[in-house]
């Protein structure tokens, strides 16, 4: 699907955008867990892979705009290596697969860079990048290139048809993993037992996880990697997981479902609020719309719903402007998605999700919104509203005037052990609106309960 010509064209476009100088793109190295040679599963740097295609460790790409050449740097296989790994394709033959016709050993990178007038590189997000850049440029104070960041973001943000096909595949795998988890969970299991079904699914289908799954009865803990709780009847399980396909594209979905055959009445009410918010937000997506405005629309919809339930009160518009809804929805509505599950997060959210004219807010709530800018056809993004009842936050805000005006603390105190609900899908912005990617996955109350009832 991505042939040599694809990569050649991508590099050409980047080269034209930069106009001069030298572009240095670092592939990732194998990462040692507890000693150097005990490797984690390999994840390639997504920008390197976007321009140089190869999913192998130890490679470096240089697009020498001034010198008008492209070089792939890497290791050559030794005779010893052949005994341990079998014969592998040569660096030169790998390079040709991605349209590159000049290769050099990695030891020559520093030397090659010494002749360059101006070197553009991206922000280092792994310690290994920092060490390489320091060693190769001789500088300890690194200066990532803003013009390179902007050019890469501009190019990678608009997904090609071939990329959309690949993302669609990733999301379909993701949806199937979710259904499998929804059918697998049982009362009495530990969260990690349920999560094991996701790990199994990813490996069985020849894929990776695009991020470590969140699989929790404590959905209100947003950064939650603990998986030691036992599933009890009456709990909800929040599962947030995604597949990364062999071609390197990600999916990212969340479903929240009852451990028993049905939601409780209280769960049903709040689930429905999140579901309607999710649908309203998805319906609002279209080119030209600020994603920040979709987020705020979702906040108002959520507030309306919470008012009906009796957990919020007062004027919806005023409540959202005052940030009162962040008692329940502390984070952003969604983010870009592509080769990275938070696409290009390593390049800086301010460049990926915002523009020089639209800066990221520093307010609680909005400061966690990774995407704010106006939507364009070819964007791929998530929509993931939620309600999270965080006891610590209730207590922090109990004496806050704004909160007292809009929050019904008396009722909220009876929800302290509620947990969290999130519903997340992946969408493509089209010429006229949007469409959900991947095979459909149940999300309506009755659909989710039907899966659980059939499973139990």
Where do contacts with its own copies occur on this chain (CB under 8 A)?
Answer: 28, 31-41, 43-46, 79, 82-87, 125-128, 130-131, 190, 192-193, 195-197, 199-204, 206, 211-212, 218, 220-225, 227-228, 330, 339-342, 345-346, 390, 392-393, 396
Place of tokens 């984070």: 331
Q: In what order do the strands lie in the sheet with 22-26?
A: 103-105, 69-74, 60-64, 22-26, 119-120
Q: How far apart are CA 293 and CA 281, in angstroms?
A: 10
Residue 161 or 392: the one with the smaller Cβ distance to its own copies is 392
Closest CA to 164 of 399, 415, 379, 443: 379
In the complex, the smallest distance separating the C-beta of residue 196 from its own copies, rounded to whole angstroms, is: 4
Calpha distance 25→95 (Å, rounded): 15
* Three-state secondary structure of 339-408: CCCCCCHHHCHHHHCCCCCCCCCCCCCHHHCCCCCECCCCCEEEECCEEECCHHHHHHHCCCHHHHHHEC
Helices (H), 285-348: 291-309, 316-322
Least Å distance, CB 239 to its own copies, is 14
Tell me whether residue 206 or residue 356 sits nearer to its own copies (CB atom).
206
Q: C-beta of 27: minimal distance to its own copies in Å?
A: 12
Give the separation between CA 13 and CA 203, rounded to whole angstroms. Answer: 35
Please identify, using beta-carbon distances, which residue of 335 and 452 lies nearer to its own copies: 335
Nearest CB to its own copies, comparing residues 22 and 339? 339
* Beta-carbon count within 10 A of 415 CB: 18
Nearest residue to 388 (alpha-carbon basis) of 228, 271, 279: 271
**Least distance from C-beta 269 to its own copies, angstroms?**
23
Q: Which of 93/135 has CB closer to its own copies?
A: 135
CB of 112 to its own copies, least distance (A): 22
Nearer to its own copies, 203 or 413 (CB): 203
Torsion of Cα atoms, 436 then 370 then 160 then 92, to 10°: -130
Smallest gap, in angstroms, from Cβ of residue 345 to its own copies? 4
Strands (DSSP E) found in 82-144: 103-105, 119-120
Nearer to its own copies, 148 or 341 (CB): 341
Write down the least CB distance from residue 440 to its own copies, Å: 25
């Amino acid at each position: 699907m991505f042939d040599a010509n694809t990569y050649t064209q991508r590099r050409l476009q980047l080269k034209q955008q930069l106009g001069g100088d030298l572009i240095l793109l670092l592939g990732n190295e194998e990462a040692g867990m507890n000693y150097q040679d005990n490797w984690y599963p390999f994840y390639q740097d997504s920008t390197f892979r976007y321009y140089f295609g190869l999913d192998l460790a130890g490679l470096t790409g240089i697009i020498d705009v001034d010198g008008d050449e492209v070089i792939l740097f890497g290791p050559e296989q030794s005779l010893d290596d052949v005994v341990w790994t079998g014969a592998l394709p040569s660096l030169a033959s790998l390079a040709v697969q991605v349209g590159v016709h000049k290769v050099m050993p990695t030891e020559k990178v520093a030397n090659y860079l010494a002749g360059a007038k101006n070197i553009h590189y991206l922000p280092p997000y792994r310690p290994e990048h920092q060490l390489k850049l320091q060693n190769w440029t001789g500088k300890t104070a690194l200066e990532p290139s803003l013009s390179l960041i902007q050019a890469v973001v501009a190019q990678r943000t608009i997904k090609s048809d071939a990329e959309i096909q690949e993302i669609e595949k990733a999301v379909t795998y993701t949806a199937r993993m979710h259904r499998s988890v929804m059918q697998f969970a049982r009362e009495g299991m530990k969260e990690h037992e349920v999560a094991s079904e996701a790990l199994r699914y990813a490996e069985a289908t020849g894929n990776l996880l695009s991020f470590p799954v969140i699989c929790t009865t404590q959905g209100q803990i947003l950064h939650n990697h603990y998986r030691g709780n036992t599933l009890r009847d009456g709990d909800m399980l929040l599962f947030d997981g995604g597949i990364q396909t062999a071609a390197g594209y990600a999916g990212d979905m969340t479903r929240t479902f009852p451990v028993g055959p049905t939601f409780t009445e209280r769960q049903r009410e709040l689930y429905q609020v999140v579901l309607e918010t999710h649908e309203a937000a998805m319906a609002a997506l279209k080119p030209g719309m600020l994603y920040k405005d979709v987020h705020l629309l979702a906040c108002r919809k959520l507030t309306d719903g919470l008012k009906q339930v009796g957990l919020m009160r007062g004027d919806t518009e005023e409540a959202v402007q005052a940030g009162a809804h962040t008692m329940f929805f502390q984070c952003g509505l969604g983010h870009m998605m592509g080769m990275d599950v938070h696409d290009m997060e390593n390049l800086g959210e301010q460049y990926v999700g915002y523009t020089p004219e639209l800066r990221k807010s520093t307010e609680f709530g909005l400061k966690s919104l990774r995407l704010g800018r106006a939507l364009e056809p070819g964007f791929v993004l998530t929509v993931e509203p939620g309600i999270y009842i965080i006891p610590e936050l209730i207590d922090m805000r109990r004496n806050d005037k704004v909160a007292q005006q809009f929050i019904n603390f008396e009722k909220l105190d009876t929800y302290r052990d509620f947990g969290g609900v999130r519903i997340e899908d992946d969408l493509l912005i089209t010429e006229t609106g949007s469409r959900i990617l991947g095979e459909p996955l149940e999300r309506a109350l009755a659909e989710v309960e039907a899966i659980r009832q059939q499973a139990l």
